[in-house]
Amino acid sequence: MYHTVIVGCGFAGAVMARELAERGRENVLILEKRGHIAGNCYDTYDRYGVWIHQYGPHIFHTDSERVYDYLSRFTEWYDYSHEVVANVNGQLIPVPFSLHTLHMVFEEEMAKKLEKKLIEEFGRGTRVPILKLKEAEDADLQAVAEYVYEHIFLRYTMKQWGQKPEEISPEVTGRVPVILSEDSRYFSDHYQGMPLLGYKELFKEMLSYPTIDIQLHTDARDVLKLENGENYLYGKPYPGKIIYTGPIDEFFHCCYGRLPYRSLRFVLEHYNEEEYQPKAVVNYTVSEDYTRITEFKKLTGQEIAGTTIMKEYPCAYTDSSTQIPYYAILKEENLELYRKYRALVRKYPNFYLLGRLAEYKYYNMDAIVEKALLLADELVKK
Ligand code: FAD
Ligand code: UDP
């Protein structure tokens, strides 16, 4: 008998499985509807032998020593600091917008003056969200805000979310602030890198434990039922814990209506060229229908002839049989609907929601690993 059934084999599910099996000495079953482990972090090789991330580029970064040390049990790291440029009408400029970018796009005297004003207003080294910069009253600071808004945020955000930056949660554009230093790295975290042998291998290591079983190609909705305050597994009452990491609305057949998500369409292209673009990721912030292009060999460090790129086309999530819900849309009305589902779940014993989908949050990988470790601390203590 399994002490715990886990739905989903992304970071949330895999970390919980390992922790409950190892620290909690439990027998654990993971149900995963896809044909592979690692959730959206899954990486593989395309038919040209290029190492790709099937569900979009995943770069690991964290300030949490606990998370870094924990994952380092299962992988070594390829030392990689992520840098991104935006293609603005053919000119490539570093993103996040930093003092370095300021000096590229404004004429020298003007740039010096703007730098001085920005630092007087916000302080050197600070990270200023674009929506905050837009509130500045000074006309020169307004000019910087206007440049950044128009050239970096407006159209990219319209593509990604179908809405303007001021119409979406400030948390979202706040992920890529204006940086008042010369640091052009995309992430500021202390630990940054890529699992040396990739995410799938990291997951394999984490999941290779004698008391963890994994069933792929298994949709939890076919085998787990929650009815009248009781949990059932394969038709029999199931008294153990259930950790659910999928979309919560779909588990309850969208009984209160659909939780809105944004989805993505990924298009891969291969070129018989040494390189396609100067950085691993180029954001298209003023043109094109796609938001960004990733060139994988620049991300993974793979040495191979030819190169594979991925274009990301954002779209609404309308069909659960063909699309994947990638991003929760953080709006009050959606959070309200999410809370209704969460209240429904509370009626069932031992049923826990964890992960980007189940919690309807914009988690990075490190945040969900940390959240899983904390939930495991609590459950192991019980
Ligand atoms: P997931 O990885 O989505 O795993 C959930 C699993 O549950 C899936 O495998 C799914 O198939 C399964 N499942 C769902 N429903 C069922 C069901 N009914 N039955 C059985 N199984 C089910 N984070 C970073 O830190 N750095 C990055 O660079 C980064 N890049 C990203 C790029 C993109 C395009 C996206 C979309 C996300 C990115 N992220 C990044 C975030 C990262 O993907 C998430 O933090 C992480 O995948 C969350 O893990 P999870 O386990 O919560 O969810
Ligand atoms: N963003 C933007 N232009 C950029 C980069 C980001 O407008 O060049 C905005 C956009 O709204 C995006 C958000 O900032 O959805 C967060 O960006 P991030 O790169 O963190 O998105 P993710 O990698 O999670 O898709």
What does each of the 382 residues of the chain score in pLDDT, given as a tens digit?
999 999 999 999 999 999 999 999 999 999 999 999 999 999 999 999 999 999 999 999 999 999 999 999 999 999 999 999 999 999 999 999 999 999 999 999 999 999 999 999 999 999 999 999 999 999 999 999 999 999 999 999 999 999 999 999 999 999 999 999 998 899 999 999 999 999 999 999 999 999 999 999 999 999 999 988 899 999 999 999 999 999 999 999 999 999 999 999 999 999 999 999 999 999 999 999 999 999 999 999 999 999 999 999 999 999 999 999 999 999 999 999 999 999 999 999 899 999 999 999 999 999 999 999 999 999 999 8
Residue among 272, 379, 312, 270 at smallest CA distance from 19: 379
Q: Which residue puts its alpha carbon closest to atom 14 of ligand 2?
A: 173
- What is the widest separation between alpha-carbon atoms in the chain? 75
d(CA 291, CA 156): 6
Which of 92, 160, 313 is the best mutation target for the ligand 2 pocket, counting ligand atoms within 8 Å of the beta carbon and taking the most?
160
> What pLDDT is attached to residue 294?
98
d(CA 11, CA 147): 38
> What pLDDT is attached to residue 228?
86
Query: What is the reported pTM?
Result: 0.97
Cβ atoms of 13 and 7 within 8 Å: the answer is yes
Whether residue 96 has a cis bond before it, omega within 30° of 0: yes
Residue 351 Cα to ligand 1 middle (Å): 20
Cβ atoms of 260 and 250 within 8 Å: the answer is no
Cβ atoms of 261 and 373 within 8 Å: the answer is no
Query: What are the backbone dihedrals phi and psi of residue 267, each rounded to the nearest 5 degrees, phi first?
Result: -120, 120
What angle do the packed helices 139-148 and 108-122 form, to 10 degrees?
Answer: 100
Residue 176 Cα to ligand 2 middle (Å): 6
Residue 196: burial class (beta carbons within 10 Å; 0-12, 13-18, 19+): middle
Q: Is 326 in the pocket of ligand 1 (CB under 6 A)?
A: yes
Q: Which residue puts its alpha carbon closest to atom 53 of ligand 1?
A: 10
| Residue at token pair 């909705």 | 221
d(CA 137, CA 341): 43
d(CA 189, CA 170): 20
Q: Is 58 in the pocket of ligand 1 (CB under 6 A)?
A: yes
Q: Is 216 helix (H, G, I), strand (E, B) or coil?
A: coil
Q: Which residue puts its alpha carbon closest to atom 19 of ligand 2?
A: 176
Which ligand 1 atom minimizes the distance to the CA of 358?
52
Which run of H or E residues covers position 236? strand 236-237
The pair of three-digit structure tokens given for residue 257, joined into one six-digit string: 């209506």
Q: Which ligand is nearest to the CA of 203?
A: 1
CA 68, 74, 79, 85 dihedral sign is negative
d(CA 315, CA 159): 8
Query: What are the backbone dihedrals phi and psi of residue 112, each rounded to the nearest 5 degrees, phi first?
Result: -60, -45
